[in-house]
Each structure stands twice: as structure tokens, then as C-alpha cells.
Amino acid sequence: MDRRRFLRTLISSTAGLALGATALRSAPAFANDPAQFAHGLQAHPWLLGWRGVSSETLGPATVQLQGRLPAGLAGTLYRNGPAWSERGTLRYDHWFDGDGMVHGWHFNGDGSLTHRARMVATPKFTREQKAGRFLYPAAGTSVPNAQAVRNNDDANVANTSVMALNGRVFALCESGSAFEVHPDSLETIGPVTWRPDLAALPFSAHPLVDRDGSVWNFGSISLMGGAGLLVWHIGKDGQLRSADVIATPGRGYLHAFTMTDTHLVFVLAPFDFKESGGSFFERMQFAPQRAANIAVVAKDAPDKAQWFEAPFAAIYHFGDAHRSKDGIVVRAVRRDNMDEARSPMKEAMAGDGAHATNGHSTLVELHLDLRRGQARWQDTGISTVEFPLFDPRTPDSRAARLYAPTVDGASNTPYFNAVAAFDVERGRRQVWRYGSDIMAEEHVFVPRPGSRNPDDGWLVGTLLDPVNKRSGLAVLDARHVQDGPLAQAWLPYAVPLGFHGTFAAQA
């Protein structure tokens, strides 16, 4: 059997369990009530971050930047997140379920900023718009009378992140294909098939760019009811270099991964399924009594893995990974409450502002001894952070400086109100607090053109001001975060909180 046929056969043996076995089983609806959310929003304005949109497009809106944009910062910040969360009498119960909306924040070069946003026209979204109701299974909400799907892309919401590669832009989700959108208009071009025999297979939401410009990513076959990792390698030119399947010891949930110059690192959190029906996250139960399985994959042999075990950890997002004397050190954000990890901001989705919490999170280090085959976790003493990013130009011979939203001082919302830079090795922190009412999202690192020095660049991040019902963007000097924004702009409207994005520099 040739390699491609073997790969397809291996994946197909589990694909039948995908959305069919875990998400299509008949179950009562556990969805929220839109009226209840609207009532909660009146009492808690910060719930604006979880209010869905009712228009397929927003903008374009052009606003003036306050302050001075640094010379050399030119391009577009693309962001993605769940945006369409209600239809009729049904509101999604889980934050991950809303259909994706891609945002483009474009620096015009004349001191102004233009924002536009557009829903990703996936098959799911297009058919549900026509029907006027939710038709397909969701990751975390039981949808009544859900229709059968042919493959993962029938239920793909394309709502988590954005990848820019070779002049192209892609909306990403963890359970299906990348959906290409136009870099300027954001109109949907369609799902990407990297190779015909790999159509509609998971291409996750956290691809990593290597130093040669190529992209590594994974697809989790555990989300399809089986076990295994599909390892993708896409060239700088946007063409597939390789796709390999690594068998895993069992089911393990992972949302992202990290890498050094020579290795990829995957941390799989074991889970079980309830026998009763329901959506994936309703049925999934983390299994903290079992060890996490950790795969270390050499980039020059992406079809093989060295396996490690460490105590259970529920992780969505990773910072950097760097070489150490004995192997590799990985930094990640551990979610410490299992129910909250399974359904973040669940109360906010329901409009329950009185009990909503962002949960407790801890920045931890995973120490991997490659020679002895041992793994251990170590706390850093840093908590209440998420979405850590860093300058990827940092040599993997040392730890990178991490940039992440955090909470600083009093806050009137159960969300992040500040951004911080962490030098974990030296125990140093710089923080900028936006205020008690402002909610701060992920801040992307943008290198200064022409510079080769790590951390010489800017942080570009998005904000939500629920009191004034507006969304905004801030630019900070990455080396002097504590000095606050160099430039800032506010839109005349608010957009839902999203997850991840990328900055595409102007050519």
C-alpha cells in the first residue's frame, strides 16, 4: 500500500466516529435563552464581549489614531473569534461555538486606522443563514434536531485564529479545514485542500512559523473520535511539504503546541466520554487522575515521536520552548479548574454576570529530559494570564520574553484589564493597566523592520470598552510596556471578544 493510501486509510478508520458519533447523537437541547442574556447585559455591560453580531459585515470604519504611530509599523492586524451566537430562540451555551468573524485592522500610513470585519462564509454559516436557524452540531452546545454532516467542514465554524502565508489569509478552527479569505475585503474564498486525499481533515488553529518561513501545524484525530496526531508541514510558498500521522497512546485533548528549532512538542490531556448523548464538550470529561502524554517530534522525522508522561495538566496555550542542558523547556498556561477549562466563561455566555469568572490560570514550565525520558512540571509563580506570545526571532538557546494579557489592580469585569511582559528567568515584569472597565485581548508581537534583535518591536492588541460600547486597538513598545500605548484608536462600535490573530506587514 502506498504512503498516501495508507495515511488516508488510517485516518478514515477513525473519521466515521468524528462528528457522527460524538456530536450527532440525539439529545435534549441545553442551549441558552437569548432573552436571558439580554437581561443580564442590562445589569452587566461587560457582557457586551459575549454578545453576538447580527450583521454579516462591519465597517469599514476609519478612525484617527491618538498618539504617534511608530515609523515602520505598517500592515494589517487580522483577528478572529466567535461572533454569530444566536438564532431565533437558541443561544449557544459554549464560547467556542459561535460562527467566526475575521477582523482586519489596517494601518493606513496617514495616522488613521481602518477596521472592517466579515463573517466567514463556511457551508455551515451559509446554510444556517438561509434556514434562519442552527442546523448543525456544535462543539459545546446540544443543537436540537441537528442534521447529519458528511465531513468536518459541514460543521466548521472557522472561528479561532488567522494565518497569513505567502500573501494569503486563512481563518482557522481546530476541527476542520483552513478557510481562505481575501486579504482586503475579507470575502470568503473557500476551504483549502492541501492535498486531495487530505480534504476536510483537521488543520488546527495554532500553526507555528519556522525560521525558514514554512509552517508547522497539527490536526487532532481525538476530535474525530479516534486517537492520533496528523502533523502538517506547509512550505513558505503555501504548498504542502508533508503530512504524517503519529499514533497516540489514547485520547488526549490539545488545542495548540510549541516548538524549538529542531523539535515539535505536543501535550495531550487525557479525557473520557460520558455515555449519554450531547455535544463534544458536554460529553468530554478531563481525566486528571491519569498522566498527560507528551510527544516530542523531530522535525526531520515528523512521523515518529518520543513519548513522555507527566502529571495531568489542562492547557490551551503555549508560550515558547527552548533548549536546556538536558533537553527542552516549554512554557504554557495551565487551567486549574477542570469545569472552567472545558467551558470557559460559561456563565457569561448564559448572561449570568453575577457569577461569571475567567477561572484561575498559572504559567508553568515543562522540563523534558530527552536523554532520561523524564518530564516534570514547575510553577513559575505567575498567575492570571492567558494567550502568551513572544518574539519568534528569539534564539531557542534561551528563554523568550513572554507577552500576555493579565489582571492588574481593581477590575469591574471578570476578564483581563492589562498587558504584561514577563522575563521569567530574571523574575521581572512590566505591566500596563488599561483601567478597571477595559477588557484587554491578545497582544501580537510585531518586529521592527530591519532589526534582528529579539524584542525590538511593538505589541499590537485589541480592547473592549463596554461602558462606552466601543472596541479599540493599542500599540505599545515591547521593550517598554509599562510606558503604555504609543498610539491608540477607538471604533464607533463594539465587536465581540475574539481569540487569536496575526499581523501581516505591508510589503
Largest CA distance in the chain: 63
> What gap in Å lies between CA 265 and CA 46, rounded to an integer?
36
Structure confidence at residue 13 (pLDDT): 43
The total of other beta-carbon atoms located within 10 Å of residue 240's CB is 14
Q: Name the residue with cell 516549554.
A: 330
Looking at the chain, the whole-number percentage of residues with pLDDT higher than 90 is: 89
Q: Do the beta carbons of residue 54 and residue 98 sit within 8 Å?
A: no
Helix (H, G, I), strand (E, B) or coil at 323: strand
CA atoms within 13 A on the CB side of 276: 7
Length of the chain measured in residues: 507
pLDDT interval class at 274 (50, 70, 90): confident
Q: For the chain, what is the domain count?
A: 1
Taking the C-alpha atoms of residue 120 and residue 181, their distance in angstroms, rounded to an integer, is: 8
d(CA 214, CA 325): 27
Query: What number is the average pLDDT over the span 350-372?
Result: 96
Please write the tens of the pLDDT for every residue from 421-457.
999 999 999 999 999 999 999 999 999 999 999 999 9
**Nine-digit cell at 154?**
459541514
Query: How is 355-415 classified by DSSP, letter by letter?
Result: T-----EEEEEEEEETTTTEEEEEEEEEESB-S-B--TTS-TTSPPPEEEEE--S--SSSS
Q: Locate 446 and state its grid cell.
A: 510585531
What pLDDT sits at residue 250?
87
The number of angstroms, rounded, from the C-alpha of 74 to the middle of its chain's C-alpha atoms is 24
In angstroms and rounded to an integer, the radius of gyration of the C-alpha atoms of the chain is 21
Share of the chain above pLDDT 70, in %: 93
What's 208's domain CATH number? 2.120.10.30
Per the omega criterion (within 30 degrees of 0), is the bond before 60 cis? yes
Q: Which own/partner pairs from 211-215 qualify as long-range (CB within 8 Å, at least 24 positions apart)?
A: 211/261, 211/392, 212/236, 214/241, 215/163, 215/165
pLDDT in tens, 23-70: 333 344 457 889 999 999 999 999 999 999 999 999 999 999 999 999
Domain residue limits at 132:
3-505
Name 423's bridge partners: 428
The pLDDT, as a whole number, for residue 12 is 47
Task: Give the pLDDT confidence score for residue 233 in this predicted structure.
Answer: 98
Tell whether the model's pLDDT for residue 18 goes beyond 50.
no
* Residue corresponding to grid cell 454576570: 353
Q: How many CB atoms lie within 10 A of CB 309?
A: 14
Q: Which three cell numbers stand for residue 434?
A: 488599561
Partners of residue 119 on adjacent β-strands: 101
pLDDT in tens, 71-106: 999 999 999 999 999 999 999 999 999 999 999 999
- Of 419, 421, 324, 409, the residue nearest 374 (C-alpha): 324
Cell digits for 305? Answer: 515521536
CA 211 to chain centre: 21
* Residues 332-344, mean pLDDT to the nearest whole number: 94
Amino acid at 428: R
pLDDT exceeds 70 at position 259? yes
